[in-house]
A and B are shown apart, each in its own frame.
Chain A
Amino acid sequence: MAVRTVPRAAAPPSPPPPRRRRRDGQARAAWLFLLPSFAGFLVFTAGPVVAAGVISLLDWNLFSPPTFAGLDNFWRLGADPTFWSALVNTAWFTLACVPLTIAVSLALALLLNRGLRRMAVFRSLLLLPYATITVAVAFVWIWLYIPTGGLVNAALGLVGIDGPAWLISDTWAMPALILMSVWKGFGFGMVVFLAGLQAIPQQLYEAARVDGASPWQSFRKITIPMLSPSFFFVVVTSIIGSFQVFDQALIMTNGGPGTGTTTLVMYIYRTGFENYDQGYAAAQSLVLFAFIAVITGIQFLLQRRLVHYDN
């Protein structure tokens, strides 16, 4: 991420104070301002990141002294079927959840944008799922997914479909989690897209209409390119979020049936805090980080070709 420096306003025409002293004073002041944040950052973010790397090389159960294990924890990962299952589940969850959530967010943003002023109420209400407690609404969704006569299957029954035993089905447990997660998460993208749509200058559409462009052409040539920065932002953040899915899977399926909905974060949690295998859990968390870093990196490379920034 490049940080662009903002051009400074012209200095007022006063005789400059002796340069060196001013610089030193500034640096001292800067470090005083930075101190609380920087101390916390070192102890609770930077330090732990380094420590995670160290712990991943240890065999450690928190209670007895750790022993050095070298890369054993990483070799174990390769031969651990539960880990592979968790990895595949998390990838599948992300591949399904992110495009669906974005499709819903974008469609609703376009819809709300058509109505503009009078849509404030709808926007608030549509944001409601995003502002609920994940654990609390996960309960409701378990209830909605009750196989015989639950609301989801009752609705499917109306159109003649015999609904599955959602959360205990090998096939349908993951789709059930995905559907719930789309419902819970679309509000975020909707707000970002709505802000992006409202930032597009109306003159562009006016000009296109004068030139005889169809609504579809306007959408293709104006809306999509102008919205691409918002789109990029939502894709990146959604993928990072999806890779860390945990709450709803823990509550709704507890990772089951079998390991059918065990996610990476759930497996890290169990390894570290139920089996007290801290070294192994740290190794898993670094693999999770590596996946997120690689995928995010690829997206930033693609961004140069696909995202249109209007300067």
Chain B
Amino acid sequence: MTTELTRKLVVFACFLVTAVTLIPVVMMVLVAFQSDAESMAATPSFWPTSWHPENLERAFDLVPLGQYLLNTVIFAGGTTLLETATAALAAYAFARLEFRGRGVLFGIYLATLMIPTQVTLIPQFALVAKLQGIDTWAGMIIPHAFTALGVFLLRQFFLGIPRDYEEAARIDGANRWQAFTRIILPLAVPAIATLAVFKFIGQWNNLLWPLVISNTDATRTIPVGLQAFQDTHGTQWNLLLMAATVTTVPLIVIFFLTQRWFVRGITMSGFGGR
């Protein structure tokens, strides 16, 4: 069916589409290195006439980008760790242990997947404010570390692990906790990595929640920091896009390193990733 000519056409088409798709990302980097005058001229120019690597330092001087990066790692890392740990425990109970009301409880968990985050946003904010959690790591991380999605994903995976492994360990005298930590968890590394990568990238991108909870640079994450940058330096295109580049590149690197899991996360997830 696929002759040499159609194969060449397919590759060419892919090449073309990919090139067009990457234009905005390439432009982000190019404008980041333009001079002030060039990037703020009435008519934008595309290829820098002169390169200005010092824009990197200048962007860091204008806003604490390093601090934002660190904050984002803390926020995304914290929510990811807490979510994977609690989800793995709960998923094991739903997949392997019998208790009264298991089906109903799991159904309730699943039902909450449909509820948009904006519904819980207002009560969560009120709760965090009441507990003096505004601008604290606990107030930012804890409310966003318990989603049903993680429990759902890991339960699916645990159900696919043959019971015999655990049974054998139990006969050898291991208790439930040992069976879980020594048998199930090592086997579930790919599924847990999938959930972790998916959650981490999603939280790196999260604007709404940190926007509501963090008011100072001490806890401000990248999306919020960039938004503030735009408010204060809105026409400084080269520095604005330098800030965008510097904060996007780590995420792209993380994405390429963990792509296999990220892709699996997309295909496995029920309602994840925006």
Which A residues contact B (CB, under 8 angstroms)?
1, 3, 6, 8-9, 12, 23, 26-27, 29-31, 33-38, 40-41, 43-49, 51-52, 55, 62, 108, 111-112, 114-115, 118-119, 122, 124-129, 131-137, 139-141, 143-144, 146, 148-151, 183, 185, 188, 191-192, 195, 209, 215, 237, 240-241, 243-244, 246-247, 250-251, 265, 268-269, 272-273, 278, 281-282, 285-286, 288-289, 292-293, 296
| Interface flag for B81 (CB, 8 Å) | no
| Interface flag for B37 (CB, 8 Å) | no
How far apart are B261's CB and chain A's nearest CB, in angstroms? 12
Contacts of B151 in A (CB 8 A): 37
Q: Is A9 touching B116 in the complex (CB atoms < 8 A)? A: no
How far apart are A44's CB and chain B's nearest CB, in angstroms? 5
Q: Is A55 touching B223 in the complex (CB atoms < 8 A)? A: no
Q: Is A192 touching B25 in the complex (CB atoms < 8 A)? A: no
Contacts of B24 in A (CB 8 A): 129, 137, 140-141, 144, 183
| Interface flag for B2 (CB, 8 Å) | yes
Main secondary structure of the interface of B (DSSP, over half): helix
How far apart are A266's CB and chain B's nearest CB, in angstroms? 10
Q: Do A45 and B127 contact each other (CB < 8 Å), given the known contacts A115-B10, A135-B223, A148-B43?
A: no
Q: Which of B5-39 contact A (CB under 8 A)?
A: 6-7, 10-11, 13-15, 17-18, 21-25, 27-28, 31
How far apart are A285's CB and chain B's nearest CB, in angstroms? 5
CA distance A136 to B245 in the complex (A): 8
Interface pairs (29), CB distance under 8 Å: A27-B98, A33-B89, A33-B93, A36-B89, A38-B90, A40-B146, A41-B109, A41-B146, A44-B124, A49-B120, A62-B126, A115-B11, A125-B18, A128-B252, A128-B255, A129-B21, A131-B201, A132-B25, A133-B244, A135-B207, A136-B244, A139-B230, A143-B31, A151-B23, A215-B1, A250-B227, A273-B212, A286-B119, A289-B115
Per-residue CB contact flags for chain B residues 79-114 toward chain A (1 = under 8 Å, else 0) read 000000111011011100111101101111110101
Q: Is B148 touching A41 in the complex (CB atoms < 8 A)? A: yes
Q: Do A139 and B240 contact each other (CB < 8 Å), given the known contacts A30-B102, A37-B90, A289-B119?
A: yes
CA distance A108 to B14 in the complex (A): 8
Sample of 8 more A-B contacts, CB < 8 Å, known A38-B105, A131-B201, A139-B28: A46-B108, A133-B244, A136-B223, A136-B248, A144-B24, A149-B43, A244-B117, A246-B207
How far apart are B58's CB and chain A's nearest CB, in angstroms? 16
Contacts of A38 in B (CB 8 A): 90, 105
How far apart are B80's CB and chain A's nearest CB, in angstroms? 14
Per-residue CB contact flags for chain B residues 237-257 toward chain A (1 = under 8 Å, else 0) read 100110111011001100110
Q: Is A135 touching B226 in the complex (CB atoms < 8 A)? A: yes
CA distance A244 to B11 in the complex (A): 36
CA distance A215 to B6 in the complex (A): 14
CA distance A188 to B201 in the complex (A): 13
Report the contact-size class of chain B (Cβ under 8 Å from the partner).
Answer: 35 or more
CA distance A296 to B163 in the complex (A): 35
Contact with B248, one of A127, A133, A185, A244 (Cβ below 8 angstroms): A133
Q: In the complex, what residue of chain A is closest to B223 when comparing beta carbons?
A: A135
Q: Is B27 touching A52 in the complex (CB atoms < 8 A)? A: no
| Interface flag for B174 (CB, 8 Å) | no
Q: In the complex, what residue of chain A is closest to B229 when comparing beta carbons?
A: A139
| Interface flag for B173 (CB, 8 Å) | no
| Interface flag for B142 (CB, 8 Å) | yes
Q: Is A128 touching B21 in the complex (CB atoms < 8 A)? A: yes
Q: Which of B212-227 contact A (CB under 8 A)?
A: 212, 222-223, 226-227
CA distance A141 to B127 in the complex (A): 36
CA distance A117 to B273 in the complex (A): 26
Q: Is B115 touching A49 in the complex (CB atoms < 8 A)? A: yes
